[in-house]
Amino acid sequence: MGAVADLILIIAIVIIVLVFWPKISALVQLGASLISNPQSKYNFTFPTNTTGRAVQNVSYGPAINYTLVLINRDREANGLPNVTLSPVLSAQQHADNMLKYNYFSHWDVYGMKPYMRYTLLGGRESMQENVAYTKSGLSACLGTLCTSYGNVNVSKALTGLEHSMVYNDSACCNNGHRNNILDPEHNQVSIGVAYNGTNVYLVEDFVDNYITWLNNTPSFSGNAVYLKGVASQNYSLSSIEVDYEPPVSSMTQRQLDNTSGYGSGEPVAGVVGSSFDYYPGLVTLVANSYYNSGNDFTTKFSIAEIVGAYGAGEYTITLWMNNTETRSSFVGATYTIFINSSDAEFTPNNV
């Protein structure tokens, strides 16, 4: 009876494949026609990593340049200026980390959020992160993301991921990825790509770079924060906020895979230049010195009061800026300070 049942099952599978094969074939062709592939136009060559393991000697430069073309193509199609590559390697560090430890999240194994990593890697601007991932398999192949089972076609995977974030993002993410890619204030992007024989990870850290920092600021010493900079033409500093989060701690693969979108912590204080000003509902920090006129600003203030209240953790200094042409307001820079919170494990080379 067991052999007969197996035979019947095999015959049923064959019949299903024969009946639905025209539809499967059509789906493959439809996916290929919906997602154009600019690789042939730009002649990028991707190095091969089919070992199934993360490796450190694969050069992702061509894949990064290819992704930049995809991003700017989407921005141009929506009447937006191109973005340029950021020198901060936050996106690549995170893509490498996800591939090495086999997880998918905005957080990393050290418990760091994107803007924390960005600060530790030298970034002083505002940034917002997109992460995307595909795994080779039957469904991926039907979506034209791979050329054969278990062997990812990187260019098609990246094209598909970027296309999904722009044109198929509402159901999963309320168009958060799309809005990030098409934000008119973004002018730079840090791109990270990491892949092996079956997985492709894509990280896009979009950056608003509108401040020229002076005197090696932002800086922090003895509870005192020092900021001195010049905003770009048509931009000005609006306000300074301090956000707090409890100390970071390492996260397991299960914890990371169960995360979703990230926030910037709890607003706990605002910085003012005069004792006559205050922030309703927040601690008001009166700066020791404060100058904000036109494009220029400089300030020194202490966060001792809120550190005394909240203790160890991450304190992110958030600078809000105004676009004087569009009269819009946005976060123009963030700078995370770690108070008695270990970041020793996190280094650019210790993925």
Sorted by sequence, the CB contacts under 8 Å of residue 195 that are 6+ apart come out as 49, 58, 63, 99, 152, 154, 157, 201
Cα separations (Å) of 331 from 93, 203, 209?
Answer: 23, 20, 10
Identify the three-state secondary structure at position 336: strand
Domain with residue 334: its CATH number is 2.60.40
* 14 assigned to some structural domain: no
145 within some domain: no
* Rounded Cα gap, residues 300 and 86, in angstroms: 28
Q: How many domains does the chain have?
A: 2
What is the DSSP code string of 31-64? HHHHS--THHHHT--PPP--SSS--SS---HHHH
Q: Are residues 197 and 309 in the same domain?
A: no
pTM of this structure: 0.80
Give yes or no: residues 217 and 204 share one domain. no
Give me the mean pLDDT over the 109-131 stretch.
Answer: 97
Q: What is the mean pLDDT of residues 220-233?
A: 97
| Local confidence band at 351 (pLDDT 50, 70, 90 cut-offs) | low
Q: 199 and 309: one domain? A: no
Write the CA distances from 122 to 112, 210, 336, integer angstroms.
Answer: 15, 16, 11
Question: Which CATH number does the domain housing residue 175 bear?
Answer: 3.40.33.10
pLDDT in tens, 75-94: 999 999 999 999 999 999 99
Domain span at residue 177 reads 62-135+151-208
Domain finish residue from 208, 229, 251: 208
Strand order in the sheet with 328-339: 283-286, 266-272, 235-245, 313-323, 328-339
Which parts of the chain fold into alpha helices (H)? Answer: 2-34, 39-42, 61-77, 90-101, 114-120, 138-142, 154-167, 170-173, 176-181, 253-257, 304-310
Contact criterion met (CB below 8 Å) for 201 and 194: yes
pLDDT digits (tens, 9 = 90+) for 277-326: 989 999 999 999 999 999 999 999 999 999 999 999 999 999 999 999 99
202 shares a domain with 230? no
If asked whether residues 125 and 73 sit together in one domain, one would say: yes
Q: Are residues 190 and 220 in the same domain?
A: no
- Could you give the CA distance from residue 109 to residue 169 in angstroms, rounded to a whole number? 26
| 297 domain residue, yes or no | yes
